[in-house]
């Protein structure tokens, strides 16, 4: 049985490492970062997956981020999101957006210092030039029983292969020790 995920991406040699291959990683240093970019993405995989462990510099409320592909800031994106915090829920839809919205679940600086949010974003058929691109994302965090969780989906209405991916933190930075990894998935 193949080993999938982070462990598999670090194995080399003749061992069958499964379907995931590490393409790039980003570790945020002191001072934080407002943009995480993966560029020169090869077209040799079926799907892409971004994994992140992230925390916001925003003082008191959870912050969000947006995602753009191939530096496209035109009104070429649509999105849906479902979310909740244990006491309330929300659902939204966006049409003709200038970005994909993978989720706002990023704890604020006022949250306990060791609390980071997590996210997994799948970009399906990213290199297929015969169809629009689809994204699905799951993000969330927990802080002593209060937190947020979101499930989002989006489309980029363009048939170009995705070669560049940017996560943009619009109201804050992601802080030091936030980490991001881009994986290629073969099926």
> pLDDT, tens digit, for every residue of 162-187?
999 999 987 778 889 999 999 999 87
Residue 124 in this model has a pLDDT that exceeds 50: yes
- Residue 34's beta-bridge partner residues? none
Out of 3.30.450, 2.60.120, 3.40.50, 2.20.28, which CATH number does the structure's domain 22-185 have?
A: 2.60.120
H or E element that contains 7: helix 6-9
- Work out the mean pLDDT of the chain and round it to a whole number: 86
Size of the chain in residues:
187
Nearest to 111 by CA among 55, 176, 150: 55
Q: Residue 117 contacts by C-beta under 8 Å, 6 or more apart in sequence?
A: 52, 53, 54, 55, 105, 106, 107, 139, 140, 141, 148
pTM: 0.86
pLDDT band at 18 (very low <50, low <70, confident <90, very high): low
Domain ranges of the chain: 22-185
Q: What is the mean pLDDT of residues 35-55?
A: 95
Q: How much is the pLDDT for 62? A: 65
């Amino acid at each position: 049985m193949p080993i999938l995920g982070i462990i598999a991406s670090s194995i080399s040699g003749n061992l069958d490492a499964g379907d995931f291959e590490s393409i790039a990683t980003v570790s945020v240093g002191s001072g934080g970062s407002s943009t995480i970019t993966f560029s020169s993405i090869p077209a040799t995989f079926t799907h892409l997956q971004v994994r992140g462990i992230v925390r916001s510099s925003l003082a008191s409320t959870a912050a969000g981020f947006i995602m753009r592909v191939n530096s496209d800031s035109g009104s070429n994106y649509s999105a849906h999101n479902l979310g909740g915090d244990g006491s309330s829920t929300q659902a939204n839809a966006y049409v003709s957006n200038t970005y994909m919205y993978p989720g706002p679940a990023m704890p604020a600086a006022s949250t306990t210092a060791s609390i980071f949010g997590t996210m997994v974003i799948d970009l399906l058929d990213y290199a297929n030039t015969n169809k629009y691109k689809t994204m699905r994302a799951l993000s969330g965090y927990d802080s002593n029983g209060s937190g947020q969780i979101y499930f989002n989906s989006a489309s980029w209405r363009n048939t170009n292969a995705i070669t560049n991916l940017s996560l943009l933190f619009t109201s804050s930075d992601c802080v030091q020790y936030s980490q991001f990894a881009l994986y290629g998935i073969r099926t």
